[in-house]
Structure 1
């Protein structure tokens, strides 16, 4: 049955288009094309005869040809509803009946019966070779009609007026019956179509309800996702705030411990005081290293680690690392040495702080797990023929320590993991050093590898790429007496620091450098002190009561006095997080010093700021 019906589609049927397909194709089936074309042609002919007999006031023939015209118009539609074969026989039958009626009206002399020949041909065109029986029946229908006309109506029967009336009413009855069958079929199709439409509407309503339910669930999931995302954001912020707070709270007393230890070393201690002071210094720096490892591990996990690109000298960097471990190696009786190949570039661009951190971790591990023998750091430059502006350095840290078993090779870079289960108990440490080093190396596009034999030692090899830097000859500097006068002598500095212990530590350092200083407890007092007199520089702590360092700096930058408004301000921060550093510069500070600070670094930074 057809899935689509419209009286407006009669022109499509006349052109042989298949209404059962969304993409109608003219002449898709030849027999249907013939049926459509002949039906509409004969409908037109019937209309012409209808008009002719209406003019001659022949009522019976007028109604007959009216019924013929309607039948010829409806036959193609009937074929589209699935009654294709019936439609073809009706077309042949109506054509034959029309020929018989016309022949009866006009008589034998008009030779209307000659049209039975194309009627026979029509049967051949309508039924293909696969429908020979139906074709033959159609042909027989036309032949029988011819013989009825030629041998019965014309020659053997003398029709009375009542006979003609009988034939006329029989034909009209047949036409009405045919019309009734056609419209009954259309009615069934319409009901079926309406039923299908209702079912489709019900399915659409069900789908809409399902879609609505799914949309509600989706909105609920989105809401839950937003809540989860908000919770994660809060958790991340809480974690960052916790790290910042812990960093500040731990580094603040560490600044006092390491600062006082440094002062004690410089105060010519007695021999019996030297060892306790060294132990205190070593323990403080170890604790600071653990804190830095945990903070760096959290930064790497959060994807917030960043690298800078500055110029540095490899020789100087290696010398600083070796100097920092000399005392440890000497105390353990281990030979500590370094070797830099002659082809290594003197000056490079990269992140010297992260490189120092990586090498410090590896050298520290080598010394920790070596009880006798040696630890050596070798630096080589590898060729990079396709990179004229870059070089690749290879750092090899070898030791004669306890070594690592093969089955533990891969796990030593895992978080909180060491080579042996009892290593943590024997040697201490968090097990984060190698993890952080590996991640820092890989984040810079480098690689790390290890070779080791249990009981014979290990060799860690690091490869990193650096940019070449312009090498300019620096003027020779004369080495002055260690007791030389500081360049800060006579400089007026305002110190804003709320921690009493850190105040004392800073005062001791600044007094040694000949600084003329004033100490206040918070940012508000710093602004009041600056109103009273002029200072060359301000050292500003960040977290203080009443007014913190950020607010105090912003207030100073808005002062009317142009000289005081532009005074250099250096932040003293115990927080080593990037967010804090960004906030420092956003507030208008000139630089920052991280607690616990290295006295030499602080002095150098103060001098550089004052020379600008």
Structure 2
């Protein structure tokens, strides 16, 4: 608290306050004016006593001794509760002392004029509430002056009439002037005291309110900390729930999509192929819905991160087109891809997020187009300072969107209308997710549409341009079928259906697979067999994939401890992927796994052996 200095008057109850802390015990220094005046006059009387004692005037000396004693007792009397009497006695003793001294010096020392400030002292010592006692004290001083003055004035050689005029004029002027000056000063002093008291009261009230606000603030901070802790727990629970749901839903989806892929490659009859395609389409649709919900949750929680890796744009667009080729053929819709001539071959950015954006747009276009075409057009619109602005257009000849609805289609859980939702289904999250992914990369997305004629979605993104990428990739040989025959693999997977799916593909690719049900069995199989790599599921009983990978990396056998490990994860969350790498795994494959992706990763390991 700031230091407060307050002039609270010059009475015994009013003093100069130096207050460092109003709530403290010893921060107040009081200096009563009554004490100061009493002791000061007592000191002066002591000087007179010494003078007269030296001059051997014993009667006068005894008078001053009595004055000194009386003046020293006055503060004691005030402290005992007789403050008014003490003040009155002080004025009386001052007047008596002046009268005695004037008598001794017979007016020659002009001692009588000290009665004028004595009158002023009467005004200052007594507050305005003690007017009667104040006036009595003043009257005593005036009477004392007249008594002395009639003695002293006679020595002046003036005519009788002049003496009368001078006497009364001086007396009147002196006392009136003194009365006015000291009363005005007293009133100003009292106003200042009142203002000071009001200020101190306001300060006390402000301090009280501040204390209450501090208590409220502390309580609010504690509540905020508690709420923040609850939010952290809630966020953690949400992440755990998403990871669990992702794993639990994707695990059976892995079996469904794996078996449909396997059946497609097993030369089914035409009537069987139609049924397989229906199952495959339904499973992919369900997986797409799951991915949308998970992606939306991750974006909403601010857990989306963007990579900066080099990729070949033409190949990426071709991959997107190929993934929708079957759907387009089944709907008898032409799927067209066009790449601009000035587009760089290699770019730097996040290819996975770009694929996700294009997948959402192309999927939407195919969903709402029953005849005509869906077209993917990519071109370079600007290139400067190793940055490339690329425009992606996905257009169709589908049902179109009303112009009034164009602004709302990018909102979460929103589709063009209720009829569209009933006819085509979906969560209404695809465009919302795409918009957020684009904007998080400082890009833009917009739409143009004509009802019953089709729509066009335009995405503008900025990518980096890698240096010497052509030289880096020169001599790279692309193969359609990676040779993985004879590869020895341990598959750690607790789900029996997924074991069969994985075993079916590996047997077809002539890969020697050892199937185990948990991490402990995987470690034992590794110790007793010569293997090339491990496919490790993450969620398993007894010992999960993380613990098993950590244990393998701590083995004494240098060959076995460095065995390549590919994680099989159904949880498509960034924190899961980060944990996979942190425990020493080399790569991961997301369930439901893409057979082409799995075979490619197995081939890369095989080439490195």
TM interval, short-chain normalised: 0.7 to 0.9
Q: Call closer, same or farther: CA 1:67–1:430 in 2, change over 3 Å.
A: same
Is 1:469 aligned to residue 471 of structure 2?
A: no
Aligned equivalent of 1:63: 63
**Where in structure 2 are the equivalents of 1:48-197 lying within 5 Å?**
48-55=47-54, 56=56, 58-59=58-59, 61-64=61-64, 67=67, 98=97, 100-106=99-105, 108=106, 112-116=108-112, 144-150=146-152
2:417 to 414, 417, 420: 420
Matched residue of 2:344: which SS? coil
Q: Distance in 2 between matches of 1:49 and 1:392?
A: 105
Q: Distance in 2 between matches of 1:444 and 1:2?
A: 67
Q: Call closer, same or farther: CA 1:113–1:477 in 2, change over 3 Å.
A: closer
Q: In the TM superposition, what whole-angstrom CA distance separates every residue of 1:146-173 from its partner, at most 9, and x where no partner exists?
A: 5321378999xxxxxxxxxxxxxxxxxx
Once the two structures are overlaid, the 10-residue window that deviates more, 503-512 or 414-423, is 503-512
Q: Call closer, same or farther: CA 1:95–1:112 in 2, change over 3 Å.
A: farther
**Where in structure 2 are the equivalents of 1:38-437 lying within 5 Å?**
44-55=43-54, 56=56, 58-59=58-59, 61-64=61-64, 67=67, 98=97, 100-106=99-105, 108=106, 112-116=108-112, 144-150=146-152, 231-383=230-382, 388-437=385-434
Q: Distance in 2 between matches of 1:114 and 1:426?
A: 120
Q: Distance in 1 between matches of 2:517 and 2:35?
A: 105
Aligned equivalent of 1:598: 594
Aligned equivalent of 2:603: 607
1:531 to 522, 527, 532: 527
Q: Distance in 1 between matches of 2:147 and 2:356?
A: 112
Q: Distance in 2 between matches of 1:479 and 1:153?
A: 137
TM-score when scaled to structure 1? Answer: 0.72
Q: In the TM superposition, what whole-angstrom CA distance separates every residue of 1:123-153 from its partner, at most 9, and x where no partner exists?
A: 99999xxxxxx9x999977873453213789
Aligned equivalent of 1:492: 488
Q: How many residue pairs are counted as aligned between the two chains? A: 523
Kept after mapping to 1: 8 A contact 2:99/2:112: no
The Cα of 1:513 is off from its aligned counterpart by 2.6
**Where in structure 2 are the equivalents of 1:512-551 lying within 5 Å?**
512-551=508-547
Aligned equivalent of 1:190: none
Q: Call closer, same or farther: CA 1:472–1:36 in 2, change over 3 Å.
A: same
Kept after mapping to 2: 8 A contact 1:42/1:69: no
Matched residue of 1:256: which SS? helix
Aligned equivalent of 1:565: 561
Kept after mapping to 2: 8 A contact 1:46/1:66: no
Q: Distance in 2 between matches of 1:38 and 1:359?
A: 96
Matched residue of 2:602: which SS? helix
The Cα of 1:433 is off from its aligned counterpart by 0.6
The Cα of 1:442 is off from its aligned counterpart by 1.9
Q: Distance in 2 between matches of 1:73 and 1:381?
A: 104
The Cα of 1:506 is off from its aligned counterpart by 1.8
Q: Distance in 1 between matches of 2:232 and 2:35?
A: 73
The Cα of 1:431 is off from its aligned counterpart by 0.8
Runs of 5+ unmatched residues, structure 1: 24-34, 128-133, 156-195
Kept after mapping to 2: 8 A contact 1:574/1:596: yes
Q: In the TM superposition, what whole-angstrom CA distance separates every residue of 1:347-366 from its partner, at most 9, and x where no partner exists?
A: 11111111110111011111
Is 1:582 aligned to residue 593 of structure 2?
A: no
